[in-house]
Amino acid sequence: MFLVTGGAGFIGSNIVAAIEERGLGKVAICDRLGSGGKWRNIAKRELADIVHPDRLFEFLGDNGAGIEAVIHMGAVSATTASDADRIVDTNFRLSVALWNWCAGHRVRFVYASSAATYGDGAEGFDDDNAPDALARLRPLNPYGWSKHLFDRRVVRMVADGEPRPPQWAGLKFFNVYGPNEDHKADQKSVVAQIYPRAEAGMPARLFKSHHPDYADGGQLRDFIWVGDCADVVLWLLEHDTQEGLFNCGTGGARSFADLAAAVYRALDKEPQIEYIPTPEAIRDRYQYFTEADMSRLRAAGYDEPFTTLEDGIGAYVKGFLNTDDRYR
């Protein structure tokens, strides 16, 4: 059985769907569903259990012998979150506790890190696993820092020969988009935020650039289709000798203007864009450029092509956003 924390969330629910579609075995998820529509992300899945986070370690105690891998996607994931105590409890302490449980019970452990660990990109986007390389990174917000804190703890434990799971991998997800993100409100991908305006024939709203090197709409990010992220997770589980920190992007940055244009063209409409001021609260914490160095994952043997921006947005718009059923 696979246990996916955050399994009703965006990336987590897509991983659950991929496991089921490939017939890899039973899946239990750990998540808070709340009173909104988050449950719809897993409504099509056959699940062994749905575990509330408060019961997670009770569940592990009762079912540990049957768990093949823990896929830890659960986190406070909002880049605008400001309660650092809550963020540390969820993103760092819980992750350390799961690592220790997996090490003690010989269970494989794959977890979500983030491209937010790279900060403004001044140190590049190389997923170097060396402790001194990680020490040079400066995340720009509490979310990115908490993910970085755990990455550094993991790498130090491994370097010091402390107990470790039989396989471990941390994935630095870049800008992910795709189905099952409706519950994320203002943290949804830019694709999902642009779609309603494009569908209504209104111009997309993008942030103005406040950096001299980037024109309005020319800010560059590495946008990755969520299905590719799920494929990387499952590839790692199928190749249990591969471990470490790995970037999970496409390796090619594209502009926000390109992204907006692709949404309109998926609807057979001419692109329209208006630029609005970037909120002052995030101007000094804004990533103007991200681009994953994918050489480590490629060297490990992952040779599947990544979905192009146009193909991914076309699949998302035509297969989900512009249909009666937006859920995978």
Q: What percent of the chain has pLDDT over 90?
A: 89
Amino acid at position 175, single letter: N
Nearest to 293 by CA among 255, 324, 247: 247
The predicted pLDDT at position 76 comes to 79
The predicted pLDDT at position 83 comes to 86
Strands 168-173 and 108-114, by their bridges, are: parallel
CATH architecture of 182-220+253-289+313-321: Alpha-Beta Complex (3.90)
Query: Which residue in the list 118, 143, 302, 316 is annotated as catalytic?
Result: 143
Residue 87: Cβ within 10 Å count: 22
Instruction: Tell me the pLDDT tens digit for each residue of 5-26.
Output: 999 999 999 999 999 999 999 9
Q: What percent of the chain has pLDDT over 70?
A: 98
Residue 234: Cβ within 10 Å count: 19
Mean pLDDT of 309-324: 97
Residue 143 catalytic?
A: yes
Query: pTM of the prediction?
Result: 0.95
Residue 208 catalytic?
A: no
Delimit the domains of the chain by residue range: 2-176+224-251+291-306, 182-220+253-289+313-321
Instruction: Tell me the pLDDT tens digit for each residue of 179-220.
Output: 999 999 888 999 999 999 999 999 999 999 988 899 999 999
> End-to-end distance of the chain based on CA atoms, in angstroms?
21
Mean pLDDT of 35-62: 96
pLDDT band at 124 (very low <50, low <70, confident <90, very high): very high
Stated as kind and residue range, the H or E segment containing 196 is: helix 190-199
Nearest to 260 by CA among 246, 276, 281: 276
| Coil, strand or helix at 244 | strand
The predicted pLDDT at position 35 comes to 86
What is the average pLDDT value for the chain, to the nearest integer?
95
User: Is 230 exposed, middle or buried (CB count within 10 Å of its CB: 0-12, 13-18, 19+)?
Assistant: buried
115 and 222 in contact (C-beta within 8 Å)? yes
Per-residue buried b or exposed e for 289-324, using 16+ beta carbons within 10 Å of the residue's own CB: bbbbbbebbeebebeeebbebeebbbbbbeebbeee
Cα diameter, the chain: 58
Could you identify the residue written with the tokens 């899945």? 45
Mean pLDDT of 60-79: 90
Instruction: Tell me the pLDDT tens digit for each residue of 211-245.
Output: 889 999 999 999 999 999 999 999 999 999 999 99
Q: What is 2-176+224-251+291-306's CATH number, 3.30.70.100, 3.40.50.720, 3.90.1150.10, 3.40.640.10?
A: 3.40.50.720
Above 80 in pLDDT, residue 134? yes
